[in-house]
Structure 1
Amino acid sequence: MDKDFQENLREFIADVVRGVCHRTKTDQTGELLTCSQIPSIMQEFVAVLKRQTYGFSTPMEMFYAIKNQKTMENIKMEFADYLANQPSHLLPSTMKTLISEKIDQLIKKFTESLLGPNPTYHASLQDDLESHLQEEEEKFCSAYTTRFTCSAIGLGITAGIGLYGVVGAAAARGTVVLATQPAVVAAEKVVAESVATGTVTLVKSAMSALVGRFFRGGL
């Protein structure tokens, strides 16, 4: 190597070393990646490769597989966030309808984002994602139905004479909401009416008990 090349090489290496601090890597959450995390990252990467049946005869095929896998994980995270932000006042059947519609939207979104020319591989990914979303849907809807039922029972237990008008107004509002939601089946009206009827029955029982106690006290 002549002197000019040596000098240029020395300046190049010095420039690369000076710029190391500006080339740090971060994960999806913005946290700094360190050398100690490399083994676990590599293990996860190898696990992804083992699960794939697409094949990696070219670097482009590997890129497709990794990109599709990342997209699937993002879809799963989006669905988890969607479930976490659901309200607690909807009827269980209404909630299930909304979640099913969301799953259809996410599956369509994932299908349109898939990369690569292999339809068999794409179908496999779609089936995996759909199974995961449906499993999460079942767990969420089961827990939601339990919470909704307990809340309805609690409402009936705590219902009093002064609550009669509030329940009536709530039932009326519920009827309006049901009428404006085409996706809600007629059975939901029956459920709402049953809850209102049960509350009215409890109120009447409370009134009878109070009247009886008054007359017994008077005697």
Structure 2
Amino acid sequence: MLVDRARRAVARIERQQPQLTRLLQPSDPIAFCGILRTLKSQYRLRGKRFCEWGSGVGLLTALAALNGLEAIGIEADATLVKEAQKTFPPTDRGPRFAQGSFVPPQVTGHFQVVGTYGATIWKPSTERDPYAAFNRSCTDFDLIYAYPWPREIGLYEALFERCAGNGALLWLFIQGEAPRLLEKIASPNPTK
């Protein structure tokens, strides 16, 4: 079972590099699958391309693939990406993972927030573009999923608004709140 594989991956990380466990937020795979099925059946996704911003050990990206989506996970930490690739090896229809910042390289400047764990600065990937690893750009994804840390919700929303393609959905899982779903719509003024 995918959940058991993910638990074993987290246990390996806890033993080998316990400092990385602070980067992992526990997800609810049952709720994730239920909401994903609802989105697929009751909301018209514009396509089947899924991207998880901050994929950790890859469980939710793997579940998206299992539910018929072309699933990509982007994670900044190289150790977590290697663990995801080991836990959920790529197949024709399986999840794929890339290491790097989910802030696309065409974004200039940076996003910054001071949060619970100190300052967070998001910068574009300059040395590697995780989207290019799959011949994609941020605008290609139909559903983007993220589980933001406290006080980063606005950053995810701003990045989505700036980078996603028209008709794409951003699904935010926020601890203690109802999931948030946003749709990118075309600007009425194309110069903005």
Q: Structure 2 length normalisation: TM-score?
A: 0.23
User: Which protein shows a greater Rg?
Assistant: 1
